[in-house]
Amino acid sequence: MSLPLPPRPSPGARVIVGLSGGVDSAVAALLLRDAGWDVQGLFMSNWDEADDDAYCTAAQDFQDARAVAAELGIALHRASFAREYRERVFRHFLSEHARGRTPNPDVLCNREIKFGVALDWARRLGASHFATGHYARLGPAPGGVVGLYKARDAAKDQSYFLHAVAPHELAQTLMPLGECEKSEVRERARRAGLPVFDKPDSTGICFIGERPFRAFLARFLAKSAGPIEADDGERLGTHEGLAFYTLGQRGGLQIGGRHGRPERPWYVAAKDAARNTLVVVQDQDHPLLMSRALTAGRWHWLAPARREAFSCFVKVRYRQADQRAVLVPCADGGARIEFAKAQRAVTPGQYAVAYEGERCLGGGVIETLTPASDASAAAA
């Protein structure tokens, strides 16, 4: 199987590939090596060793990265950016949860760590570029800048998580898997004899891994119990703290069946911080869960900043289908987004990311919501 090769480098050009120990970064390094780049690997361990536990796979991931580097015949460096991760990503992550919001640490992890301190580290090693196994495409864009585009494999596209990376950093970045299907990547790894060809994809919090989330968060944030109420005010139970729940959440409420209530699941619809109350509903499309517009904080533009309202497509969470919307730039540098159709469980702290066709225009943190109807506004 032949995968698209990255652009050929100038003679002697060096690229540092972030080798995570997974199949995607391994094939990224393979493709770059085959295209003629001077490839070296970098394994980042960014969660403190003292906090390691059964859910942290860093030790095994490093061994897998070493095996890949040996198979490819490339040097492998190891660096810890744990201090930077704590200060620039995890502190914000905890702060947002403490406010009852739901942050997305992967966006900051990309901006601050992978395409921040790791890119700087690569430059110090004499590299002209830094490369990753992300599924996204980089290419020319109007105005002579490097544009960020969706991956060919729509099911794996990660442009949502990359929208906050600065354009000048994208210009020093290579993403060889942008034109590849995931199945092609695994097959190429198998044929090349890479030992991670069938390794499962990583999930969970960036650099921390997949683990019981509420128990993990409780290690850093104090629990603050309060009532769980239905939208009509009936008390249904007790929550452990607003920080441990997110809008639209279905599981983990421990409400059970209620006399006079239909046998249907409950969903988190609102967080009343003033009363420390979690409001839940039984209809997954209840008006309290629907928003027709949102405001985002300072908008990070990957395209020339717009001054007038324009039509585009917007995602308010990863893997969401594109939603038609009008983006209205605000005088304070933020944006108002008005949707053609009401959106479910739009969540403050997450990111709204805009697209024109395949190109990612940028994004911003969701701050406030406009209910889908006057009725829902009154209920809220």
The answer to whether 181 and 57 have CB atoms below 8 angstroms apart is no
Query: Length of the chain in residues, anyone?
Result: 380
Report whether 315 contacts 160 (CB < 8 A).
yes
Identity at 352, one-letter amino acid code: A
The per-residue pLDDT for range 297-340, each reduced to its tens digit, is 999 999 899 999 999 999 999 999 999 999 999 999 999 999 99
Residue 339 sits at φ, ψ, to 5 deg, of: -90, 145
Choosing from 109, 180, 312, 360, the catalytic residue is 109
User: pLDDT tens per residue, the chain (380 residues)?
Assistant: 456 656 666 777 899 999 999 999 999 999 999 999 999 999 998 876 555 555 557 788 999 999 999 999 999 999 999 999 999 999 999 999 999 999 999 999 999 999 999 999 999 999 999 999 999 999 988 877 889 999 999 999 999 999 999 999 999 999 999 999 999 999 999 999 999 999 988 765 655 555 677 888 888 999 999 999 999 999 999 999 999 999 999 988 988 777 778 888 999 999 999 999 999 999 999 999 999 999 999 999 998 999 999 999 999 999 999 999 999 999 999 999 999 999 999 999 999 999 999 999 999 999 999 999 754 443 33
pTM higher than the cut 0.95: no
Domains of the chain: 14-213 (3.40.50.620), 222-281 (2.30.30.280), 290-379 (2.40.30.10)
Which of 56, 180, 206, 360 is catalytic? The answer is: 206
Question: If DSSP states are collapsed to H, E and C, what string results for 38-74?
Answer: EEEEEEECCCCHHHCCCCCCHHHHHHHHHHHHHHHCC
Q: Which two tokens stand for residue 212?
A: 């019981």
Q: CA separation (Å) from 231 to 236, 278, 280, 286, 336? A: 11, 10, 6, 10, 27
> Is 206 noted as a catalytic residue in this protein?
yes
- To the query of whether residue 180 is one of the catalytic residues in this protein, the response is no
Query: What 8-state DSSP symbol labels residue 125?
Result: T
